[in-house]
């Protein structure tokens, strides 16, 4: 398996590993430093034999090539990749503040301005992907990473992204709390699944828990399918309108992302988001 032409500009010997950042289905993510330049990266190491075992070659290629192509303030940047016979090494922008998931675990429900910032950051990254006709399909706080003093949120882990061309995707993927009804029902799905996940995210940011979270998977699935959620804490009417506009059973009725990002509730916290497509490719 080869992702594409092997790149020779970097090799493993130029990097010093500084510690484990996380692990996933196909390998690990290590913090590493380029010993020549001092630049810190997160190196995602993908084991080819694990990919081949699960017949996921095409998916992994898509992950790497999509992430290489996108360049946006709210998408984790893949600077570079190289490979040898057994592994693919992806040099990712290093998230010095870790996962949004861990942040929410320690801080709980967010004040509205903070929730709006995380939501707008994530939504802007997703909007950019959608403009490229790519659905992320695995949006959840584990896959949103935080950067710098400002805690800028960026969407990472493109492992499930799919280019949404004319055909809709039939594959089931994602973690239960953020999974849309159409995915649970095994129906065709498209970028609408990301809108649903953004609704779940906003709910969780503001209340400290996911809207359909229940002790058992079965109960969670039932609640998702019935779109059965209630607000236990008071949130502002604008935020509630957004959540209700996103958590709709019918994908086509969900509020379009451009409208979401320009919603008056978002406007109250940040200047309107620029959505122009541009700068698609890296300087080579």
Binding-site positions: 44, 93-95, 142-143, 157
What does the angle CA 154 – CA 54 – CA 49 come to, to the nearest 5 degrees?
A: 90
Stretch (H or E) spanning 114: helix 112-131
Do the beta carbons of residue 129 and residue 277 sit within 8 Å?
Answer: no
Which partner from the list ligand ATP, Mg ion, none does 115 bind, CB cut-off 5 to 8 Å by kind? none
Gap between the Cα atoms of 193 and 199, Å rounded: 10
Pick one of Mg ion, ligand ATP, none as the site partner of residue 125 (Cβ within 5 to 8 A by kind). none
Q: Quick one: DSSP state of residue 132?
A: T
Residue whose CB is less far from ligand ATP, 42 or 243: 42
Cβ neighbours of residue 272 closer than 8 Å, sequence gap 6 or more = 261, 262
Minimum distance of Mg ion from residue 250's CB (angstroms): 28
**Is the dihedral angle over the CA atoms 26, 28, 29, 35 positive or is it negative?**
negative
Of 41-49, 63-71, 152-160, 209-217: span binding Mg ion (CB under 5 A): 152-160
The residue among 126 and 145 lying less far from ligand ATP, judged by its C-beta, is 145
Among 59, 66, 143, 251, binds ligand ATP (CB under 6 A): 143
Stretch that binds Mg ion, among 2-10, 25-33, 150-158, 261-269 (CB under 5 A): 150-158
- Kindly tell me which of 76 and 242 has the beta carbon lying closer to ligand ATP: 76
63 is an interface residue for Mg ion by CB under 5 A:
no
Counting contacts by CB under 6 A, is residue 173 touching ligand ATP?
no
Q: Is 157 in the site for Mg ion (CB under 5 A)?
A: yes
125 binds ligand ATP (CB under 6 A): no
Helix axes 112-131, 192-207, angle to 10 degrees: 170
HSE-CB of 21 using CA atoms within 13 angstroms: 23
User: Which of 19, 41, 22 shows the shortest CA–CA distance to 91?
Assistant: 41
Q: Which of 99, 110, 124, 191 binds ligand ATP (CB under 6 A)?
A: 99
Give whichever of 95 and 104 is closer to ligand ATP, judged by the CB atom.
95
CB burial readout 128-158, b (16+ within 10 A) else e = bbbeeebbbbbbbbbbbbbbeeeebbbbbbb
Site for ligand ATP in 71-90 (CB under 6 A): 76
**The CA-based dihedral angle spanning residues 208, 98, 124, 194, taken in that order and rounded to the nearest 10 degrees:** -60
To Mg ion, the closest distance from the beta carbon of 243 in angstroms equals 24
Binding of ligand ATP by 239 (CB under 6 A): no
List the catalytic residues: 138
CB of 130 to Mg ion, least distance (A): 20
Q: Contact 200/182 with Cβ under 8 angstroms? A: no
| Binding stretches for ligand ATP (CB under 6 A) | 21-22, 24-26, 29, 42, 44, 76, 92-95, 99, 142-143, 145, 156-157, 159
């Amino acid at each position: 398996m080869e992702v594409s032409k092997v790149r020779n500009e970097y090799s493993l010997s130029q990097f010093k590993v500084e510690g484990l950042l996380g692990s996933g289905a196909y390998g690990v993510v290590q913090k590493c430093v380029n010993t020549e330049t001092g630049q810190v990266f997160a190196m995602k190491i993908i084991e080819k034999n694990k990919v081949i075992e699960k017949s996921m070659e095409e998916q992994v290629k898509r992950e790497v090539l999509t992430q290489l192509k996108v360049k946006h303030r709210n998408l984790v940047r893949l600077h570079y990749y190289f490979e040898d016979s057994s592994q693919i090494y992806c040099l990712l922008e290093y998230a010095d503040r870790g996962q949004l998931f861990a942040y929410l675990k320690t801080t709980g429900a967010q004040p509205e301005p903070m929730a709006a910032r995380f939501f707008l950051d994530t939504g802007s990254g997703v909007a950019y992907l959608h403009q490229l006709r790519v659905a992320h399909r695995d949006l959840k706080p584990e896959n949103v990473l935080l950067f710098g003093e400002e805690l800028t949120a960026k969407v990472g882990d493109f492992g499930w992204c799919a280019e949404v061309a004319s055909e809709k995707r039939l594959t089931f993927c994602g973690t239960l709390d953020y999974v849309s009804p159409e995915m649970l029902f095994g129906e065709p799905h498209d970028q609408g699944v990301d809108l649903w996940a953004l609704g779940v995210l906003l709910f969780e940011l503001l209340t400290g828990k996911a809207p359909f979270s229940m002790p058992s998977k079965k109960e969670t699935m039932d609640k998702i399918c019935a779109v059965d959620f209630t607000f236990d804490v008071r949130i502002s009417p604008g935020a509630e309108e957004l959540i209700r506009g996103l958590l709709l059973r019918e994908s086509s009725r969900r509020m379009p992302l451009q409208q979401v990002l320009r919603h008056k509730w978002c406007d109250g916290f940040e200047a309107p988001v620029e959505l122009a497509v541009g700068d698609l490719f890296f300087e080579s």
